[in-house]
Amino acid sequence: MNQQLEQYRRQQQQLAELNQELTHINENFRQNEQKMNQIEQQQLTPILTVLNSRSATYTQLGRVLAEVDRQAQLSALRTYLSSMNQEIMTYQSRQTTMQQLTASIKIVNGMQTKMGEAIDKRLQGPSSHVAGKNCKLTT
């Protein structure tokens, strides 16, 4: 009988400890839930408002924001932002290539102009250059 009584007391003690732990876990959960709601109201909602206002222009963004489930929305937003970053990098790469090509074209055009002038000068020869200066037009 004493053994059963002792076992009952230990179980009561364990139950009390577990109840205390449960109370602590519930309190932490409640605090985390409040923090999550606060973050959502103060940070996430304003961002989503701005994104929603821009979604009329960007249809792909509109589809992402149409997700009802927050986790699905965040996942879709990550994918969208990743693809937009890739598009930006592609654009910047093409812009750099265009700038390099423009610089190369300027160099080629400059060389072409100089070569044309040199060819014209060579074709005219020294005598035509002197004759051109001594030649007077009369009317």
Q: What is the pLDDT of residues 56-75, one digit of tens each?
A: 888 888 888 888 888 898 89
Q: Dihedral of the CA atoms 15, 21, 25, 30 (nearest 10)?
A: 80
Q: What is residue 12's predicted lDDT score, i.e. its pLDDT?
A: 95
Average pLDDT along the chain: 87
Among 70, 50, 45, which Cα is nearest to 61's?
50
Residue appearing with tokens 């040199």: 118
Residue 139's pLDDT band (boundaries 50, 70, 90)? Answer: very low
User: What gap in Å lies between CA 134 and CA 6, rounded to an integer?
Assistant: 133
Contact 55, 62 (CB under 8 A): yes
Domain spans of the chain? 1-54, 73-121
Q: Is the pLDDT of residue 120 over 80?
A: yes
Q: Is the pLDDT of residue 125 over 90?
A: no
pTM (2 decimals)?
0.52
DSSP 44: I
Contact 65, 48 (CB under 8 A): yes
User: What gap in Å lies between CA 33 and CA 138, rounded to an integer?
Assistant: 101
User: What gap in Å lies between CA 65 and CA 69, rounded to an integer?
Assistant: 10
pLDDT digits (tens, 9 = 90+) for 10-55: 999 999 999 999 999 999 999 999 999 999 889 888 888 888 888 8
The more confidently predicted of residues 94 and 70 is 94
